[in-house]
């Protein structure tokens, strides 16, 4: 907000920094985390994690689209943005410290989180981008993060990541570390801009629908997978925590970059985040007790 008031951050600068984060910093983060990750050594666990990350987000998008239509949203009035915002949980920023704290001495759930995130990223950059832009097909896949995921998996399973020069790996790591703080800063800038322009327009309808989708129906879908599929124990634990998470914040950036409606995405994030402060402890405690 201060940067906007002082004129230090124009709308063009915001957009440029978001594109830099999406096309350079996020791919560097993926390429620094995935190749050589110990959690990828067990093909069965990795396959389940990636597959569920992809399928469960597709289910979230489908649920969100139906709830948006039932709530009176239409294409052009926020339906597309609502779908990609309410249909995807915060699978990293909030989940990682929770997993580390919940399972001290057990790196399994936190390690699998990054692998699960690969499936989430695949869903977001294919189906999610197609929903937001209304364009499907191979052209929608030509973006930095999706290409980085494919390249990272090839490097990992071919073993060729071992031959990456140290200076390249260090550069990828340093640039990748900037991805999260840059994204958070730019999301904050977007939220500050819309707070000045009327963030609460139609917030009640969006809020009720987003809580129903993210913390109700989509959470239930994830819990069903955790309880009834033949999954490794650590992946079950990861899914319970994922079910309790509020909406992801990155769709705010996507809405800005691809002509969506950032106001709707901000409303979904803010309202589900507040509601999850109450619901998340109960969901996690109940879910982990069911797993024994």
Distances (CA, A) of 225 to 50, 55, 89, 273, 281: 13, 10, 15, 23, 19
pLDDT the model gives residue 203:
75
pLDDT in tens, 100-124: 788 887 767 877 887 888 889 889 8
pLDDT in tens, 11-22: 677 677 777 877
H helix runs in the chain, sequence order: 2-5, 11-20, 26-33, 43-70, 79-86, 95-102, 108-123, 129-133, 144-158, 166-177, 179-197, 203-212, 218-228, 233-244, 250-257, 262-291
Angle at 28 between CA 86 and CA 146, to 5 degrees: 50
Given a cut of 90, whether residue 37 has pLDDT beyond it is no
Residue 43: pLDDT band (50, 70, 90) is confident
Sign of the C-alpha dihedral computed for residues 126, 258, 61 and 118 taken in this order: positive
pLDDT the model gives residue 229:
94
Domain locations along the chain = 2-291
What is the chain's mean pLDDT, rounded? Answer: 84
pLDDT the model gives residue 39:
65
Residue 5 in tokens: 């008031």
Considering only residues 210 and 185, tell me which one the structure prediction assigns the higher pLDDT. Answer: 210
Under a CB-based contact definition with an 8 Å cutoff, are residues 267 and 223 in contact?
A: no
What is the CATH code of the structural domain delimited by 2-291? Answer: 1.20.1530
pLDDT the model gives residue 240:
96
State the pTM of this model: 0.79
Give the highest mean pLDDT range of 113-117, 128-132, 134-138.
Answer: 128-132
- Residues, the chain: 292
pLDDT the model gives residue 287:
96
Considering only residues 8 and 236, tell me which one the structure prediction assigns the higher pLDDT. Answer: 236
């Amino acid at each position: 907000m201060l940067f906007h008031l002082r004129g230090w951050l124009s709308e063009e600068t915001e957009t440029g920094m978001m594109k830099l984060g999406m096309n350079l910093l996020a791919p560097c983060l993926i390429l620094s985390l995935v190749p050589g990750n110990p959690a990828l050594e067990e093909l069965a666990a990795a396959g389940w994690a990636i597959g569920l990350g992809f399928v469960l987000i597709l289910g979230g998008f489908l649920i969100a689209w139906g709830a948006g239509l039932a709530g009176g949203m239409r294409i052009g009035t926020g339906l597309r943005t609502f779908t990609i915002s309410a249909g995807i949980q915060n699978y990293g920023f909030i989940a990682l410290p929770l997993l580390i704290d919940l399972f001290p001495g057990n790196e399994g759930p936190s390690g699998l989180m990054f692998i699960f995130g690969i499936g989430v990223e695949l869903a977001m950059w294919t189906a999610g981008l197609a929903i937001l832009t209304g364009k499907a097909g191979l052209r929608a896949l030509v973006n930095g993060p999706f290409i980085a995921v494919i390249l990272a998996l090839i490097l990992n399973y071919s073993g060729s990541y071992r031959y990456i020069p140290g200076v390249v790996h260090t550069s990828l790591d340093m640039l990748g570390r900037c991805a999260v703080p840059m994204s958070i800063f730019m999301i904050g800038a977007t939220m500050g801009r819309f707070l000045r322009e009327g963030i609460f327009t139609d917030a009640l309808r969006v809020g009720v629908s987003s809580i129903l989708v993210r913390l109700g129906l989509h959470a239930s879908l994830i819990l069903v997978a955790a309880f009834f599929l033949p999954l490794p124990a650590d992946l079950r634990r990861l899914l319970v925590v994922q079910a309790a998470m509020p909406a992801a914040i990155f769709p705010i950036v996507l809405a800005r970059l691809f002509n969506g409606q950032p106001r709707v995405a901000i409303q979904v994030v803010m309202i589900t985040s507040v509601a999850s402060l109450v619901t998340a402890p109960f969901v996690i405690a109940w879910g982990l007790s069911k797993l024994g």
